[in-house]
């Protein structure tokens, strides 16, 4: 890997940074991240996602963002520089697949809205038919998801954690259950105890 800045801070970007006095402000941070593999923090974060966003660019230069999701663990970390997932039947427009035929570069956003965390990844993607990658299908399948049509792997070129500013916290069903479950359990126990106590008071002595 190079560093995230090596890829994203083009001459045009640096010119804009220079105009507001921000050029070089990130040098120390990114200089320490050259050829950085995915660490335990990144691995844990990615494998605990239930959705990601993938951006590609078509042959006319138009960007396209695709959402991909699944149950916890659908996104696999194959090694310290590669992630992947199984692709199931969707709307059959195949925009991402067509874009990758001309340019295999992708940008990925992995979000944790509940904890206001965001991991950005740049990489090179392959999206191949399942029939042509049976071994990869076995590595990337998730139980109960149905028939796999394609598999995608992304070789990570660089990644970066983004600041939590302006991320509105949102919670899925599992996260909400974890948050309110203990309190609901306490209230149910308390309610049962009160009912039992009320029943005793109503019982003639």
Domain boundaries along the sequence of the chain: 1-33, 37-169, 171-205
CA distance 25 to 31: 11
pLDDT above 70 for 179: no
CB of 57 within 8 A of CB of 107?
no
How many CA atoms within 13 Å lie on the side-chain side of 110?
A: 21
* pTM, entire model: 0.81
Per-residue 3-state assignment (H helix, E strand, C coil) for 1-63: CCCHHHHHCCHHHHHHHHHCCCCCCCHHHHHCCCCCCCCHHHHHHHHCCCEEEEEEECCCCCE
> Residue 76 in contact with residue 84, Cβ under 8 Å?
yes
* Tokens standing for residue 47: 């494998």
- The CB density around residue 51, as the number of other CB atoms within 10 Å, is 15
Q: List pLDDT tens digits, range 139-156.
A: 898 876 778 899 999 999
For 129-172, where are the alpha helices, taking DSSP H only? 134-140
DSSP H or E run through 77? strand 76-79
Give the pLDDT confidence of 55-65 residue by residue, as tens digits. Answer: 999 999 999 99
pLDDT band at 169; cut points 50, 70, 90: confident
Task: Identify the residue whose tokens are 């009912």.
Answer: 195
How far is CA 183 from each of CA 170, 177, 178, 194, rounded to the nearest angstrom? 19, 10, 10, 16
50 pLDDT tier (thresholds 50, 70, 90) = very high
Query: Has domain 37-169 been given CATH number 2.30.110.10?
Result: yes
Other CB atoms within 10 Å distance of the CB of residue 73: 13
| Helix, strand, coil fractions of the chain, as percent rounded to 5 | 35, 30, 35
């Amino acid at each position: 890997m190079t560093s995230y800045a090596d890829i994203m801070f083009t001459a045009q970007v640096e010119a804009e940074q220079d105009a507001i006095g921000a050029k070089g402000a990130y040098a120390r941070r990114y200089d320490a991240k050259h050829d950085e593999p995915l660490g335990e923090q990144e691995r844990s974060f990615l494998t605990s996602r239930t959705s990601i966003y993938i951006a590609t660019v078509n042959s006319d230069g138009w960007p396209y963002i695709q959402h991909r999701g699944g149950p916890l663990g659908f996104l696999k970390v194959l090694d310290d520089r590669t992630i992947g997932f199984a692709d199931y039947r969707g709307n059959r427009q195949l925009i991402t697949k067509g874009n990758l035929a001309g340019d295999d570069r992708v940008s990925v956003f992995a979000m944790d809205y509940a904890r206001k965390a965001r991991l950005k990844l740049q990489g090179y993607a392959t999206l191949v038919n399942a029939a042509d990658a049976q071994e990869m299908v076995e590595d990337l399948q998730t139980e109960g998801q149905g028939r796999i049509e394609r598999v995608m792997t992304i070789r990570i070129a660089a990644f970066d954690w983004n600041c939590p500013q302006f991320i509105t916290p949102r919670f899925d069903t599992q996260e909400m259950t974890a948050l309110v479950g203990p309190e609901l359990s306490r209230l149910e126990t308390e309610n049962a105890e009160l009912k039992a106590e009320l029943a005793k008071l109503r019982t003639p002595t």
